[in-house]
Amino acid sequence: MVKPSTVIAPQEADPQADLRLGNTLRRIRKQSGMSIKQMAVKTNLSAAMISQIERGLSTPSLRSVRSLSMALDVPVAELFNDEHDLSATSAERHIVRFEHRRRLTLADNKVIKELLTPPEPSNLEVYEITLNPGGSSGVGYRTSEGEKCCYVLEGEMMLWLEKEKFIIRTGDSFRIPATMPHQFKNTAKTPCTLLWIITLPSWAR
């Protein structure tokens, strides 16, 4: 079980997080040769909203980040601020030190995603996600490819699988095919920390 003190630390706001995410999005979009208007069509986000995200003026939701990554044909991990030491030895590159975790702060600091897997291409991604009160996967149900697995390290959240609703508490876990419509939200008054594991679709490997 994670001690409360270790849960609170990742919740500190990072004023540069939106700017880093925006710069990364712009770089990948330009490398792909895609215009903002083209990406808007693919994501169902407005061109104005994408422009604001790229300039660090708007914080995207978890759902918007996933939509942007799909439009760019890259895993969500590519949008993280990469502080991993690529000059390390071949063996050490398989290790992610705590201080080198890559982080995304989303939706007004209500969702913090920290990538626990190295930057090398893989069909597996593991995250530690902190849901502050009100933090969620976004409006409406989500579907994708592959599988998803979650273990609640601390706190509780509401989980919707298709039309059924469940309360998932500390120590609970679940695994679902990502094609199953799902969403989640922290409806409690304290943070909820998750270990989130996903398999990537073939286009993102």
**Are the C-beta atoms of residues 201 and 145 closer than 8 Å to each other?**
yes
> Residue 129 has which token pair?
């996600």
CA-CA distance, 131 to 108, in Å (whole number)? 11
pLDDT tens for residues 172-194? 999 999 899 999 999 999 999 99
Q: What average pLDDT is seen over the chain?
A: 83
| 77-106: average pLDDT | 74
pLDDT at 10: 42
Domains annotated on the chain, with CATH:
1-205 (2.60.120.10)
Distance in angstroms (rounded) separating the CA atoms of residues 109 and 107: 6
Higher per-residue confidence, 82 vs 198: 198
